[in-house]
Amino acid sequence: MISYKALADEFQKLAFAGAALAKAVGPASRRVGDFLTKHDHALDVAGLGVLAAPAAADLVHARRHPGTSSKREIFHSGAELAGLGILAAPGVAHLLRK
């Protein structure tokens, strides 16, 4: 069992490592942070697109090669795409409003 003191020590080590990394990276971290803040919605949508790619590929494969995928796999891929689309909708709406 992990004690509270051991857990606190591990978090303190992580904090020191993070501080050392931030000091080493220096001003570049500010530019990276500014980029991520400026393009946050685009990066969110791109990440969700990457997550949706395997499900889309499964659906394309099922369409091109009928009988190779079960209905359960097809419905699962469709539901996954629908869920990711719902998650991406606010980011896409924000990008379209720009």
Per-residue model confidence as pLDDT tens digits over 32-90:
778 888 888 888 899 999 999 999 999 999 999 999 989 999 999 999 999 999 999 99
Are residues 46 and 32 both part of a single domain? no
The tally of domains found in the chain comes to 2
Pick the residue with more confidence: 25 or 47? 47
Question: What pLDDT is stored for residue 1 in this prediction?
Answer: 57
The residue with tokens 């697109």 is: 49
34 and 50 belong to one structural domain: no
Statement to judge: residues 33 and 55 lie in one domain: no
30's enclosing H/E stretch is helix 27-38
Is 11 exposed, middle or buried (CB count within 10 Å of its CB: 0-12, 13-18, 19+)?
Answer: exposed
> Of 93, 80, 94, which is closest to residue 49 (Cα–Cα)?
80
> What is the pLDDT, as a whole number, of residue 53?
93
For residues 77 and 92, state if they share a domain.
Answer: yes
* 10 vs 4: CA distance, rounded Å: 10
pLDDT surpassing 70 at residue 2: no
- Reported as a single tens digit per residue, the pLDDT across 26-42 is 777 778 778 888 888 88
Q: Do 18 and 66 share a domain, yes or no?
A: no
Q: What is the pLDDT confidence band of residue 5, given thresholds at 50, 70 and 90?
A: confident
User: Are 47 and 26 found together in one domain?
Assistant: no
For residues 96 and 54, state if they share a domain: yes
- Cα 23 versus chain centre, distance: 27
> Do 52 and 23 share a structural domain?
no
Range of the domain at 58: 39-98
Same-domain status, 11 and 50: no
Return the pLDDT at 73. Answer: 93
- Asked whether residue 43 falls in the same domain as residue 61, the answer is yes
50 and 8 part of one domain = no
